[in-house]
């Protein structure tokens, strides 16, 4: 664990970071919120093989114990740092200060996807690939789903199953003004800084970067919108049935299996020729499993012949759940 100085609007703050593991594959994690703690993605450090991975995380401004969390701090109510640009700049500065490799994979969740897409549009050569979990490329799309969740009484939307809550999860440890500034008074983006955020028209600029998108049935974004984002990126996509906004909580084993399958098949060295878009296949372990169950249950299983490939976690073929 260490503290890294970042400068936002001509003011310098020290934010908390941590790195663990000693594997060759670096994972640079960007959690949601904004103001979420790095504990949100702590499952990676718990369940992945740390001899294969090195995990790098940070708590941005507004996240305990980084600055601007405590109400008696001068910056607590200072809205000058509460911008998408400010969070992307923090991501950039931490990435540089910790000397994160350009072969690192960014793992982003929720608002972290917003920051990651903006980061990639600015510095596309600084990443090997990106995981985009449970968010979309347009706040209009996200707001439509939230409206639908409200209309249906949230019976089909959730963060995760309470029975599966991880013991390390932290609640309420962020700046309470921050959420209102970014998401607006209703929490759906309306009246907030994200209200007009939309990068759908720019996604084609990132098609050379390997991406893996996750979404669940009970997510707070429409899975169809996440799939459309993946298609525009020419990336890979995993749909997790019976999963909420924290899809990696509700379907952890399947999320991790799909992630590890994907990360093993993307190029390690930037600048080499990427695999042909027509050559990407679902992994050798998953295909026999899917075919076996399709024979037994009469389920149709398709291997997508060109990107976006819809990766299937083990036993997660259509009509089947683990």
The residues with which 138 forms a beta bridge, in sequence order, are 198
Contacts with 234 (C-beta within 8 Å, 6 or more apart), sequence order: 207, 277, 307, 308
- The secondary structure of 208-232 as a DSSP string is TS-EEEEEETT-SS-HHHHHHHHHH
Contacts with 166 (C-beta within 8 Å, 6 or more apart), sequence order: 42, 43, 249
Residues in the chain: 322
Sheet holding 236-240, edge to edge: 2-8, 11-20, 53-59, 25-30, 105-109, 129-133, 211-216, 236-240
- β strands within 47-128, DSSP E: 53-59, 105-109
On whether the CB atoms of residues 273 and 248 are closer than 8 A, the answer is no
pLDDT tens per residue, range 170-192: 665 678 899 889 998 888 888 89
3-state class of 177 per DSSP?
helix
Q: Which token pair is 3?
A: 């503290």
Share of the chain above pLDDT 70, in %: 82
On whether the CB atoms of residues 169 and 160 are closer than 8 A, the answer is no
Q: Please count the other Cβ atoms lying within 10 Å of the Cβ belonging to residue 289.
A: 19
pLDDT tens per residue, range 21-36: 999 999 999 998 887 8
3-state class of 183 per DSSP?
helix
CA-CA-CA-CA dihedral for 36, 225, 203, 92, to nearest 10 = 0
- Is residue 135's pLDDT more than 50? yes
- 0.75 surpassed by pTM: yes
pLDDT tens per residue, range 209-225: 999 999 999 999 999 99
d(CA 304, CA 308): 7
Task: Dihedral sign for Cα 40, 121, 28, 51, please.
Answer: positive
Mean pLDDT, to the nearest integer, of 190-196? 90
Mean pLDDT, to the nearest integer, of 128-153? 95
- What is the three-state SS of 260-299? HHHHCCCCCCCCCCCCCCCCCCCCCCHHHHHHHHHHHHCC
In the chain, where are the structural domains located?
Answer: 2-265, 284-314
Domain 2-265 belongs to what topology?
Answer: Rossmann fold (3.40.50)
On whether the CB atoms of residues 307 and 208 are closer than 8 A, the answer is no
């Amino acid at each position: 664990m260490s503290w890294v100085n970042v400068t936002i609007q001509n003011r310098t703050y020290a934010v908390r970071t941590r790195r663990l593991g000693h594997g060759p594959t670096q994972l640079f994690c960007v959690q949601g919120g904004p103001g979420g703690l790095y504990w949100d993605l702590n499952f990676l450090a718990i369940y992945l093989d740390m001899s294969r991975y090195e995990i790098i995380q940070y708590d941005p401004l507004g996240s305990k114990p980084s600055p601007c969390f405590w109400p008696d701090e001068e910056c607590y109510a200072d809205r000058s740092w509460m911008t998408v640009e400010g969070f992307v700049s923090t991501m950039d500065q931490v990435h540089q200060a910790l000397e994160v490799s350009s072969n690192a994979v960014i793992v982003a969740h929720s608002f972290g996807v917003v920051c990651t897409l903006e980061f990639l549009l600015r510095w596309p050569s600084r990443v090997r690939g990106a995981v985009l979990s449970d968010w979309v490329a347009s706040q209009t799309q996200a707001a439509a789903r939230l409206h639908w969740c409200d209309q249906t009484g949230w019976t089909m939307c959730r963060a995760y199953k309470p029975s599966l809550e991880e013991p390390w999860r932290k609640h309420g440890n962020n700046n309470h003004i921050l959420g209102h500034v970014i998401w607006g008074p209703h929490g759906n983006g309306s009246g907030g800084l994200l209200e007009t955020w939309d990068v759908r028209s720019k996604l084609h600029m990132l098609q050379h970067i390997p991406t893996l998108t996750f979404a669940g049935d009970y997510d707070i974004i429409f899975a169809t919108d996440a799939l459309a984002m993946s298609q525009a990126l020419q990336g890979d996509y995993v749909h997790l049935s019976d999963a909420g906004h924290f899809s990696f909580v509700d379907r952890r084993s399947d999320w991790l299996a799909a992630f590890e399958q994907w990360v093993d098949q993307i190029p390690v060295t930037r600048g080499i020729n990427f695999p042909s878009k027509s050559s990407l296949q679902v992994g050798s372990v998953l295909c026999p499993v899917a075919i076996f169950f399709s024979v037994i249950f009469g389920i149709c299983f398709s291997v997508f012949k060109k990107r976006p490939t819809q990766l299937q976690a083990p036993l997660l073929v259509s009509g089947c759940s683990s």
